[in-house]
Amino acid sequence: MRRLKRAANSVAVCSEIVTLLGCVGKNKVLMQTPSAPVVETRYGALAGFTDNDVHAWYGIPYAAPPVGNGRWRSPQPPARWEGLREATAFSPSCWQSSEYCQTLGGGDPGQFSEDCLYLNVWSPVDRATPLPVMVWLHGGGFTIGAGGLPPYNGTSLAGRGVVVVTLNYRLGLLGFFAHPALEGEEDRVVHNFALLDQIAALEWVRDNIAAFGGDPANVTLFGESAGARSVLSLLASPLAKGLFHKAIVQSGYTLPDTPREQALQKGEALAAHFGLKNATAEELRAIPPESLWPLTAPLNVAPAPIVGDCVLPEAMLDVFFAARQHPVPVMIGSNSDEASVMAVFGIDLAGQIQKLRRERRFGLGLIKLLYTGVKGDEELGRQVCRDMAFTTMGYVVMQAQQRVGGLCWRYWFDYVAEAEHATYVNGAWHGNEVPYVFDTLGQVEPSRQYVNERDLQFAAQVADYWVSFAREAGPREILPGPTHWPACRKGRDVLLRIGVNKHAAFRLENRFMRARMSLFKRVMKHHVSLD
């Protein structure tokens, strides 16, 4: 239980990932102070508040409420409002499990509503010129999370001279759904409503962020876990072209997209579960939202989008294998103990190796050659699961970027707070880098209880790298910092270790896990089963 509680900053990826081994109410009170900043957006005026040297605006609508007939439809622009709208409190979160989010997703998501398409903005008080914009997509397996959770507070990043945006998007079956009764309602095929929400938020940023001091021509999209998978999906989506100019992918995973046909079958099974054998669109939309999120396999959504709609006409992995992603600078990396998220969901890591031993001894022999010195089925399973599901994604993206002449920075996060080395024996858990990236380590639970000055100093350095990428990637091919961090141009395979053996250090490494990554990429590309 202690380990589970320690995972407060980890983000859930559902148990379907094992298949990889086979292949607060609306705003109420305006802070009546002279420091309440007012901005004029296309939809009306907003009054925020000031926190030290940073202005903030919470609960800004970026789309109309997706309720009633708006459920399972493309997001629409928000309605204009008259007068001054108070923007001092987070909006309700999208429907999810509060318990799961508090345990695994980074904090208490507060109240829930289908009316949840809101975003939050932080901007420095002192700004002379338009600033880089960083738009955050939270993780949570596409089933939990919210833009207003404590680890994602943008104050510290904004204090470094950027404008930070966090947002909610539809989750679970409200975010990803297909059913024959919904076909033909729009002039395009739509299943990935959550990704369309993210695209709508980026369109809002393009049209409005200048009023907050941001540069709409320099937008960095970044996210972790399902948020990282969203970034990868938008890099592959024709609908997101031109809406962001740089991308950061934190612990993106290789789980294949869900085929449209499978999603349609799942939609019919869900309708049957509610006694709607030949469901109409009206009957489907009448299902209470609180009845949808608790559903378990096989009715719940996989932690991957649906391929075959207007957002993803082609599978994300196939786009990167063919090097047809949007040509923007990319930073991508993962953590040293990503398999932690699988263990939390009860996946038997040692059991995966034992299965290989029974069914594919040749495959196991090859793996053992690549993992020399790794002893015991559990440790081998942990590393194989980690690399197959997470580490390989960075290698795939790097090679795709090199094929199109793009820039790619790769990292490996392996820092653990000094007081927690005995808890995180195998390294940094899934999601543990997030409060370092936002420099919120000393403000959120449980880390604020045990961090020391050296931990906080390291977090500040990590946040500096992320801001440097947003500010300078593209014109510059080397990011400044404790270790100058070069991009992987064609012919160069270099990675920055952020933390070394759990301790504070930054070190460049050439050809990181090259042989392992080549094997797993082949397995992914040719859909060869290992189980």
Task: Cite the active site residues.
Answer: 225, 338, 430
Q: Residue 172: left if φ>0, alpha if ψ -120 to 50, beta else—which one?
A: left
Q: Where are the beta strands (DSSP E) in 265-423?
A: 306-307, 330-335, 408-415
Cis-peptide into 289, omega within 30 deg: no
**What whole-number distance in Å separates Cα of residue 19 and Cα of residue 520?**
14
Nearest to 116 by CA among 168, 77, 172, 78: 168
Strands 330-335 and 408-415: parallel
**What whole-number distance in Å separates Cα of residue 11 and Cα of residue 17?**
14
Nearest to 474 by CA among 395, 377, 409: 409
**Residue 389 tokens, joined:** 């599901």
Can you list the alpha helix ranges (DSSP code H) found in 323-413? 340-344, 349-359, 361-370, 377-386, 392-403
Q: Which helix (H) or strand (E) holds 352?
A: helix 349-359
Interior/surface letters 498-509, b for 16+ CB within 10 angstroms, e for the rest: bbeebebebeee
Return the SS3 of 38.
strand
Can you list the alpha helix ranges (DSSP code H) found in 14-58? none
**What whole-number distance in Å separates Cα of residue 33 and Cα of residue 37?**
9
Q: Which helix (H) or strand (E) holds 509?
A: strand 494-510
Q: Where are the beta strands (DSSP E) in 54-187?
A: 54-61, 84-86, 118-124, 131-137, 163-167
